[in-house]
C-alpha cells in the first residue's frame, strides 16, 4: 500500500502548469522542495518520518519527472517559487514549514522573500551558492559541465552533473531507478542552469523573519559551506547545523526533525 494519502490522480494545475504531488500524514503543513534533476520520489524515505510531524507535502517541480514540462522548456527560481506558492494555496497549506534541498533551497528562499505569508519556517539543505564569490565560481564550473554534456546528448547531463557534485563513487552507487530518474530529468537540469539561480543580496535576505535552519554537510564541496555562511550572516534568525556525509543531506535527519519539533512546539 502506498504511503501517499492523496487522491488516485495526484496532479493539480497551478500557476499554469500541472504538478504531481503527494500528501503524507495530517496536521501542520510541511512542504518538501527537491533539488535539480530530482523529484518527490527521492524523498520517499524521509516522508515516512516527516509524516509523523505533520502533513508532509512532496511534489515534482515544474519540468521534473511526473510534472508537466512545457515545450519549449525554460524556467527560473522565481517561477518555481510561484509554483510553490500556488501549490500551498491550492492545498490550503499556508503557512508551511518549507524544507528545500540544493536548488530547492533557492526556491524556498525566493518563496519566503516573495510570499512570506505562506512560509512558517525554513530548513535549507545547502543552497544559495549564487550568494558568495566561491559559490558563483562553482556554479559557473557546473554550468560548463552541464552545457558540454547537453551538446553531447541531453541523456548524459545528469550523470555528468552528479559525478561533478557528488563524486564518481556516489553516482555509481545510486540505485538504477534513481539513475533513471535523474537521467530523464536532463532537460530540466539544463533549463534550471540556463534560467539562473537565486538573485538576492544581504539586504533582501535580512527581511526573512521566519525561523531558519541551515544544514551543511562535512564532505560537500567548499562552495556549499561558503554559501551557508553567507546565508547565516544575512538571515537574522538563521542557525547552522553541520552534518556528516555529502550534498544529499537527509531531509528527515535529526537536525531537521529537531528544528521542526521546535517550530511546532506549543508556546
pLDDT for 61 = 98
Residue 16 gets the label, from left (phi > 0), alpha (psi -120 to 50) or beta, of left
The CA angle 173-164-157, to the nearest 5 degrees, is 85
Q: Distance (Å, rounded) from C-alpha 209 to C-alpha 26?
A: 26
Enter the DSSP assignment of 11. E
Q: Is 92 left (phi over 0), alpha (psi -120 to 50) or beta?
A: left
Q: What is the pLDDT of residue 180?
A: 97
44: which 3 cell numbers?
520517499
In this prediction, residue 125 carries a pLDDT of 98
pLDDT at 197: 96
Domain 11-129+198-264, classified CATH 3.40.50.10540, yes or no: no
Residue 209 DSSP one-character state: -
Sequence ranges of the domains in the chain? 11-129+198-264
Helix (H) or strand (E) holding 122: strand 119-125
Q: Are 138 and 221 in contact (CB under 8 A)?
A: yes
**Bridge partners for 242 per DSSP:** 216
Question: Is the Cβ–Cβ distance between 23 and 91 less than 8 Å?
Answer: yes
Per-residue pLDDT of the chain (267 residues; tens, 9 = 90+): 344 444 445 899 999 999 999 999 999 999 999 999 999 999 999 999 999 999 999 999 999 999 999 999 999 999 999 999 999 999 999 999 999 999 999 999 999 999 999 999 999 999 999 999 999 999 999 999 999 999 999 999 999 999 999 999 999 999 999 999 999 999 999 999 999 999 999 999 999 999 999 999 999 999 999 999 999 999 999 999 999 999 999 999 999 999 999 999 987
Q: pLDDT value at position 79?
A: 98
The confidence score (pLDDT) of residue 8 equals 44
DSSP 131-185: GSHHHHHHHHHHHHHHHHHHHH-GGGHHHHHHHHHH-HHHHHHS-HHHHHHHHHT
Residue 267's pLDDT is: 78
Query: What pLDDT, on a 0 to 100 scale, did the predictor assign at position 10?
Result: 86
Residue 89 Ramachandran class (φ > 0 left, ψ -120 to 50 alpha, else beta): alpha
Amino acid at each position: 500500500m502506498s504511503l501517499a494519502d492523496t487522491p488516485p490522480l495526484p496532479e493539480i494545475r497551478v500557476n499554469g502548469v500541472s504538478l504531481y504531488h503527494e500528501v503524507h500524514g495530517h496536521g501542520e503543513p510541511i512542504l518538501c522542495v527537491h533539488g535539480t534533476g530530482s523529484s518527490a520520489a527521492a524523498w520517499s524515505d524521509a516522508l515516512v518520518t516527516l509524516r509523523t510531524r505533520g502533513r508532509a507535502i512532496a511534489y515534482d517541480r515544474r519540468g521534473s519527472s511526473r510534472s508537466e514540462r512545457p515545450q519549449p522548456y525554460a524556467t527560473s527560481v522565481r517561477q518555481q517559487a510561484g509554483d510553490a506558492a500556488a501549490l500551498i494555496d491550492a492545498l490550503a497549506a499556508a503557512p508551511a514549514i518549507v524544507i528545500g534541498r540544493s536548488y530547492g533551497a533557492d526556491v524556498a528562499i525566493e518563496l519566503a522573500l516573495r510570499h512570506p505569508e505562506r512560509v512558517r519556517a525554513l530548513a535549507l539543505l545547502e543552497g544559495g551558492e549564487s550568494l558568495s564569490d566561491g559559490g558563483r565560481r562553482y556554479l559557473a564550473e557546473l554550468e560548463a559541465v552541464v552545457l558540454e554534456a547537453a551538446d553531447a546528448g541531453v541523456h548524459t547531463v545528469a550523470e555528468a552533473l552528479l559525478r561533478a557534485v557528488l563524486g564518481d563513487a556516489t553516482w555509481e552507487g545510486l540505485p538504477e531507478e534513481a539513475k533513471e530518474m535523474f537521467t530523464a530529468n536532463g532537460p530540466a537540469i539544463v533549463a534550471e542552469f540556463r534560467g539562473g539561480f537565486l538573485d538576492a543580496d544581504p539586504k533582501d535576505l535580512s527581511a526573512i523573519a521566519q525561523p531558519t535552519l541551515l544544514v551543511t554537510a562535512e564532505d560537500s564541496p567548499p562552495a556549499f559551506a561558503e554559501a551557508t555562511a553567507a546565508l547565516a550572516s544575512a538571515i537574522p534568525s538563521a542557525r547552522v547545523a553541520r552534518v556528516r556525509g555529502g550534498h544529499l543531506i537527509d531531509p528527515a535527519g535529526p537536525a531537521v526533525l529537531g528544528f521542526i519539533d521546535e517550530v511546532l512546539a506549543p508556546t
